[in-house]
Structure 1
């Protein structure tokens, strides 16, 4: 599938998903707003295709003072995460607003996970190849790092461990995606992601 058709397919699926999931999105919005002061959505600058920055959308899962736009990571047991936020993260429901990013064309359904500018600045020249395609909601590194919060919790400085180790492990997985990228492979990754979330 060429890029134009892939883009149309991704945007169409995301638009339909937003309509079908609108009751769920409404309920989550009410819960986030009713249980913690602050905005419903969390926005953060991420780096997309060809290094272009865009604003990613998620349901806010942290206290408003803890939900910063900086390049921070969140280990398991992070006290900044709200009670509702823990549930949303556990079922990956906080990621649903990113369907808006897919509709806008910032992201695709499948692709490398978008990082913040601070972390992208740490990429090697070879690692920057992940910026040659649109980032995605699902992808090899998203699937492979579903236990990231647990891995971070075992380190005294989670930010340093992510910066020095996990970041580059994630990029290596996403680089492998570039070699196998196809419509069929994308569908398999999406199915594996849904199954993994249900099991998780």
Structure 2
């Protein structure tokens, strides 16, 4: 089975199963704060092509205009329902649509915003050789990234100089041993981590 067939099959199954949850989440988001149900943001995908990632909106309307692109723990822009969606990674579920569209994979380097991709070294740009994913090794290691950023006096600087290089190193390690078996292992580890939250 190819990676694309694997992604497409499980994304379609996932959306079918999760559709009732999607509807419930949409209702709570609309009741909780003004704005759209989905949040769409430009990210950089394979070969440097930009696309818009789908997420359930977890922050106040136009949050990017009143703060940084990174999010710290207890960020005042996060809505009440948004805290729950982020804790259990439910806000990421709409990215199954990106997978179906062929813009993402279930497993692969998490796509960054153009601002941070512009800082990649030549070696780090290797992560752009594959489709970005909903989860990856870095997502597992930095499960509590927001808390790490919250404990630093300059969160963005800490992200750029400390966290991002480690993420990219893990992503390159993934590329060097990627395969369906490895993808399944990462998906299982991700699910176990969310369940244990």
Regions of 4+ moved over 3 Å: 67-71
Q: How does 1:16-27 map to 2 (within 5 A)?
A: 16-27=13-24
1:107 aligns with 2:104: yes
**2:47 & 2:85 partners in 1: Cα distance?**
31
Q: How does 1:1-200 map to 2 (within 5 A)?
A: 5-67=2-64, 72-200=69-197
**2:67 & 2:123 partners in 1: Cα distance?**
25
**2:156 & 2:144 partners in 1: Cα distance?**
16
- When residues 71 and 44 of structure 1 are mapped into structure 2, their CA distance, relative to the original with a 3 A threshold, is farther
1:1-27 Cα offsets, whole Å, 9 max, x none, are: 5xxx21122012101110110000000
- The DSSP-based 3-state class of the residue aligned with 1:58 is strand
How many residues matched? 197
Please, which runs of 5 or more residues in structure 1 have no aligned partner? none
Preserved CA contact (<8 Å) 1:75 1:158? yes
1:96-139 Cα offsets, whole Å, 9 max, x none, are: 00000000010001011100110000000000000101011111
Preserved CA contact (<8 Å) 1:71 1:119? no
Preserved CA contact (<8 Å) 1:50 1:132? yes
TM-score computed with the length of structure 2 as normaliser: 0.96
- The DSSP-based 3-state class of the residue aligned with 1:56 is strand
1:24-71 Cα offsets, whole Å, 9 max, x none, are: 000000100111000110000111111111100000000113155996
1:77-107 Cα offsets, whole Å, 9 max, x none, are: 1011011000000000000000000000100
**2:63 & 2:161 partners in 1: Cα distance?**
23
Q: CA deviation at 1:154?
A: 0.6
TM-score computed with the length of structure 1 as normaliser: 0.95
Preserved CA contact (<8 Å) 1:38 1:63? yes
